[in-house]
């Protein structure tokens, strides 16, 4: 029972973070576009919309368990990109806070990678996957 609760809470946290991130983008899509433009990316408004929709899709997958491992891997890659693009070494000069933001991304990535390997658990999860295999924890007899 404890494992099931921990997995469900983790899924809520993962999904909730992406719901909040998408919500903040959608609430001020022009502000998000401005932030993207300040990092030097072209087509900032388009990219802001793509980011918000991508984050919503990640949230749905992480919350429902559908394509969970795939979503967790994509989310980890996305978070790694965000770490370098918006908080990477070019931002550290004279701003130690940016280094902290950069490092924080890696704890999130570690959790996502762990989740990708172990899957969404058995409870309240849609078990659709493009990987075509049981999650490693399930194959080893793990039961959430």
Q: Which domain holds residue 34?
A: 2-139
User: Is there a contact between 82 and 143 (Cβ–Cβ < 8 Å)?
Assistant: no
pLDDT of residue 124: 86
Token pair for residue 132? 């075509």
Query: Domain for residue 129, yes or no?
Result: yes
Number of folded domains that form the chain: 1
pLDDT digits (tens, 9 = 90+) for 75-131: 999 999 999 999 999 889 878 899 999 999 999 999 999 999 999 999 989 988 887
CA–CA distances in Å: residue 118 to residues 51, 60, 129, 136? 26, 18, 13, 6
Quote the pLDDT of residue 127. 87
Summary mean pLDDT of the chain: 91
Is residue 143 over pLDDT 70? no
Q: 144 lies in a domain?
A: no
Asked if the model's pLDDT at residue 134 lies above 80, the reply is no
- Residue at 131 is within a domain: yes
Q: Is residue 99 part of a domain?
A: yes
Polymer length of the chain: 144
- In the prediction, which pLDDT does 136 show? 45
Element at 119 (helix H, strand E): none
In a domain, 6, yes or no: yes
């Amino acid at each position: 029972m404890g494992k099931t609760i921990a997995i469900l809470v983790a899924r809520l946290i993962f999904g909730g973070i992406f719901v909040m991130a998408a919500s903040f983008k959608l609430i001020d899509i022009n502000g998000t576009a401005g932030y993207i433009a300040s990092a030097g990316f072209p087509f900032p408004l388009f990219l802001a919309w793509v980011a918000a929709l991508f984050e919503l899709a990640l949230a749905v997958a992480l919350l429902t368990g559908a394509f969970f491992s795939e979503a967790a891997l994509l989310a980890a890659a996305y978070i790694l990109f965000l770490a370098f693009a918006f908080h990477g070494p070019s931002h550290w000069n004279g701003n130690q806070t940016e280094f902290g933001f950069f490092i924080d991304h890696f704890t999130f990535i570690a959790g996502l990678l762990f989740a990708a390997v172990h899957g969404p658990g058995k409870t309240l999860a849609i078990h659709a996957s493009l990987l075509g295999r049981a999650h490693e924890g399930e194959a080893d007899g793990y039961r959430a």
